[in-house]
């Protein structure tokens, strides 16, 4: 059943190879691969993107990093993140901080995840990556840590509407069944996921299958259809 997710995007991608590719189309195909659990295929599409001289955007990196982590390749994902930061495509999304600076207990570290300036699909994948690192990267400095997610409103949110925070709350509550405390901070607020809850959750990859959105702008489809 999951395989059906990728048939349409990959057919569209085949056409774009003939008529001229766009990064958004490749992102669309990679998202479909991640959604269906075809992580190796997503990595192949990312390699194709680079091989054709196209520049990956933030969503490209989010998708391929999540695919790498889902395959247990955490070191490779972190190295790719460093490359993206050096290219000024992605910021440092997460860092370890002393919990006392965020209202917690002194001497205890937590992971601070900053989702400012991200679109909802990007923010969701960043949170899922951090959850994978906390629960599946044994021996790393992230393992078992509490996570504080600073949401902001998110790019393209209107007025005071917090699309990113709403998406992360939905991700925690509905997909991962996590209990969390909300500490209101600025307008966007912050969400806390306890390390013990993250370690006990089992649905990280399944959640990715449900949140990977089809994000190709309609204009890209229109241009392709006209060329056909």
pLDDT tens for 153-162 read 545 555 555 7
Does residue 191 surpass a pLDDT of 60?
A: yes
Comparison of pLDDT for 35 and 66, the residue scoring more:
66
Mean pLDDT score of the chain: 75
Looking at residue 104, what DSSP letter applies? S
Residue 44, pLDDT above cutoff 90: yes
Query: With 90 as the cut, is the pLDDT of residue 223 above it?
Result: no
| Measured distance CA(108)–CA(147) in Å, rounded | 12
Cα-Cα-Cα-Cα dihedral sign, residues 33, 34, 38, 40: positive
Q: What's the pTM value of the predicted model, to 2 decimals?
A: 0.77
Structure tokens at 208: 């990715």
The pLDDT-based confidence of 190 (bands split at 50, 70, 90) is: confident
> How far is it, in rounded angstroms, from Cα 124 to Cα 8?
23
pLDDT at 207: 63
164-168: which pairs have CB atoms within 8 A and are 24 or more residues apart?
164/115, 164/118, 164/120, 164/123, 164/188, 165/189, 165/191, 167/120, 167/123, 167/124, 167/211, 168/115, 168/123, 168/124, 168/127
Structure confidence at residue 58 (pLDDT)? 92
Q: Does residue 77 surpass a pLDDT of 80?
A: yes
Please say if the pLDDT value at position 14 is more than 80.
no
């Amino acid at each position: 059943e999951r395989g059906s997710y990728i048939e349409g995007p990959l057919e569209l991608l085949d056409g774009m190879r003939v008529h001229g590719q766009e990064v958004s189309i490749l992102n669309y195909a990679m998202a479909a691969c991640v959604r269906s659990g075809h992580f190796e295929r997503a990595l192949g599409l990312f390699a194709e993107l680079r091989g054709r001289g196209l520049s990956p955007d933030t969503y490209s990196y989010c998708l391929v990093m999540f695919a790498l982590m889902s395959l247990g390749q955490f070191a490779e994902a972190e190295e790719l993140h460093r490359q993206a930061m050096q290219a000024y495509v992605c910021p440092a999304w997460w860092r370890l901080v002393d919990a006392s600076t965020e209202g917690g207990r002194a001497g205890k570290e937590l992971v601070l995840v900053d989702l400012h300036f991200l679109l909802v699909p990007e923010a969701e994948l960043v949170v899922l990556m951090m959850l994978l690192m906390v629960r599946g990267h044994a021996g790393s400095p992230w393992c078992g840590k509490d996570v504080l997610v600073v949401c902001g409103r998110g790019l393209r949110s209107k007025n005071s509407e917090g699309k990113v925070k709403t998406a992360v709350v939905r991700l925690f509550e509905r997909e991962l069944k996590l209990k969390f405390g909300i500490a209101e901070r600025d307008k966007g607020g912050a969400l806390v996921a306890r390390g013990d809850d993250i370690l006990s959750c089992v649905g990280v990859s399944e959640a990715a299958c449900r949140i990977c959105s089809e994000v190709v702008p309609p204009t890209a489809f229109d241009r392709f259809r006209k060329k056909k």
